[in-house]
Structure 1
């Protein structure tokens, strides 16, 4: 720890911010995942299914209420309005409040219709509406902190709020009736998160003192509106399986599938942390030709490290499920490889969509995710009724492959035509990594009954990751 602190003291602010953000994200998300084995043992699967259903609908509705203003285009706008970031931040947050007010009015006019459509009680719906007003403030504030490399306060606030929400949620579930555990967990968790978001929202409005400025709204909407389509399609891709499983099979199956999906997505914690630190660096240096080799090397290293992590998680799936859940969930362990690989392809999509966002080609992102979501819906409609919720894992993988492929092809073509340079990413390496990892992931299913071979492969992967890390350090030196 002393060596790490000393090294960080000599680093640039961008590197300090990247490390701090990555570590805080890993710790906070890790805390959330550590509670999975607790909740699966003290909550009925049907109650967990209710929370999964709520989170699915919240993620989808949040796209409409925020107009995707908190997406990648926000960081590009911070660069565009570098001298007036406070007013810009206040203005776009006010825009989300205005849109959310309209969404809330639609609900208030006919609450029964929406409650029946979403399959959620009034208490859940009221909590959803409150979240729509408050969560954008936290998203804006966190993105601004990362962009300005102000990592200390954001890391501290994230750690404290997450720890408080987790501890209080467990306490609440342990002290209520089994059929009330879903609501108790959700209420207490959101009480902490939304309280912090409320304070941040007030701070944003107080500092910026700007409700409307045509230039800010026009610039942000020109980037974000196509991303609304992308975000809707992406959420459909992410949550339609759970909604359709609930329709065709039931909430208990949603609880099992949703839990396994969450476990399969553990590796995504690492990627989101790495990508969150990488994007500000990319946007600030993509126009600097002298940095192109560094960007190419950094992106390749990050993706390689992430694929190793994802593959190790797939190999250890039986052990992870035994730790995280009960025997009721273990029957679904074999759907983890396709889900995990589909989620892992998010990393590839992010790399190329970052390029498209920088060059304001957000419509391409919308079309790619739209095509993937349509394929996913059609395949779910065909296969879930016939083969059960397990089929959703494979339809998700197919959809993610389609989305990543479209974005990679279009981003590469546009970058080469626009800059007259070779692609800033190593496309050949990325393709090889994807193919090898997908093949090995399916082979790993046959190793689930043999512990020693799986453990040996895990050790080899970890050693390879360490060697790659040391090689990267020598290259930097």
Structure 2
């Protein structure tokens, strides 16, 4: 009964995320045959910059808007004004980030080995992405999975078609891939904004200091967590670029993209799981909590077994999908899949921290795990090359999960059977 209830909610998200994942995978064998590993590495460094900038754009206001929905009997008027406050924070943070990035545009270009025009483009795409995520998040918390999937999948499809047009047909190289993302972001944002206003979920003309403070109280403590996430999930690209070269970045990112298929499935399950879980945590029923814990353990064991298979079948998929130019990625795919499995386990326990609103804990854990990752990266990359980078990623993810599991159990008590729960 518990499984079927969750499966019903997860089905649409799972199908949506799988379709959303299939599109980049369909694009992967095309890009790897029309782009050199160096060009693919440049795109990877741009995506890394994009994620780093996204840490500061909006100050985690998307999560605050989603969490507000569960604050008891909150009226629709309050929710749309709260969402408007999130947009106001987006506007201010975007201006500040743009100024900072513009001042160091040349230095960032040289450090990342990408054209200067891409640096400012990353700011624009981050802003557009925030607005789309606000719309997607509002659909998710209201269990409107079909609309969620429609926008998500159509955006990826447009991105893919434009990428093929610019990279393959017009032969624009890596530049064409970036242009495709900019245009896709503009289209998705226009649709997202129109739908937010259509559903009466946005009021940006009113200034509500109380809501601004509430959003910042949720989002700002998460900033170190987000920065730690960059260190944990993205810093490896910087190390590879500096120590091994841009070609190895391209090879590494092919393996990362293939391994991320696991995380896409985990994320789809979690998207359906969060509203389901939060509703049951509000009831505070002991028997239901025991069922949740039991099924969580089964889930964790299952994904670890799945990750183990990647050590054997992963190299075959690399050659088949990406071609011989990227064959070296087969040596690291297993390690990366194991790291993604630990990420999936992390998602299952971090939800309790968000429910308890004790998000400052996440900042500490993620910063610590991120710093450990940085240290391991420098040591392992020098000693073992690309394989060492993948090993550092996996070990850091394991440490991140263990620390989060411990803190989660203190933030919100669940019958995990651990001594710290006594």
* 1:78 equivalent in alignment to 2:69: yes
**1:145 is matched with which residue?**
139
* 1:228 equivalent in alignment to 2:220: no
Query: Displacement, 1:30?
Result: 1.8
Q: CA RMSD in A?
A: 2.3
**1:403 is matched with which residue?**
400
The count of corresponding residues between Structure 1 and Structure 2 is 408
Q: Which runs of 5+ in 2 are unaligned?
A: none
The 8 Å contact of residues 18 and 274 in structure 1, kept in 2 or not, is answered as yes
* Residue of 163, 168, 176 corresponding to 1:174: 168
* 1:213 equivalent in alignment to 2:208: yes
Query: Displacement, 1:143?
Result: 1.0
**2:332 is matched with which residue?**
335
Q: Which runs of 5+ in 1 are unaligned?
A: 1-10, 417-422, 429-477
**1:156 is matched with which residue?**
150
**2:356 is matched with which residue?**
359
Residues 329-364 of structure 1: per-residue CA shift (max 9 Å, x gap): 222312122211112101222122111111122122
* 1:68 equivalent in alignment to 2:60: yes
* 1:103 equivalent in alignment to 2:94: no
Tell me the secondary structure at the aligned position of residue 66 of structure 1.
coil
**1:248 is matched with which residue?**
243
The 8 Å contact of residues 167 and 177 in structure 2, kept in 1 or not, is answered as yes
**1:459 is matched with which residue?**
none
The 8 Å contact of residues 76 and 283 in structure 1, kept in 2 or not, is answered as no
Pair 1:110–1:39, CA change in 2 (3 A): closer
**1:123 is matched with which residue?**
117
- TM-score normalised per structure 1: 0.80
Pair 1:110–1:297, CA change in 2 (3 A): closer
* 1:39 equivalent in alignment to 2:31: yes
Query: Displacement, 1:247?
Result: 0.9
Residues 410-450 of structure 1: per-residue CA shift (max 9 Å, x gap): 2223433xxxxxx245779xxxxxxxxxxxxxxxxxxxxxx
**2:343 is matched with which residue?**
346
**2:17 is matched with which residue?**
25
Structure-to-structure mapping, 1:449-464, within 5 angstroms: none
Pair 1:55–1:426, CA change in 2 (3 A): farther
The 8 Å contact of residues 57 and 130 in structure 2, kept in 1 or not, is answered as no
Q: Give the whole-Å Cα distance in 2 for the aligned partners of 1:118 and 1:215.
A: 40
CA radius of gyration, larger in: 1
Pair 1:78–1:121, CA change in 2 (3 A): same
* Residue of 171, 196, 199 corresponding to 2:191: 199
Query: Displacement, 1:91?
Result: 1.7
Q: Give the whole-Å Cα distance in 2 for the aligned partners of 1:426 and 1:281.
A: 23
The 8 Å contact of residues 17 and 150 in structure 1, kept in 2 or not, is answered as no
Q: Give the whole-Å Cα distance in 1 for the aligned partners of 2:216 and 2:333.
A: 38
Pair 1:85–1:315, CA change in 2 (3 A): farther
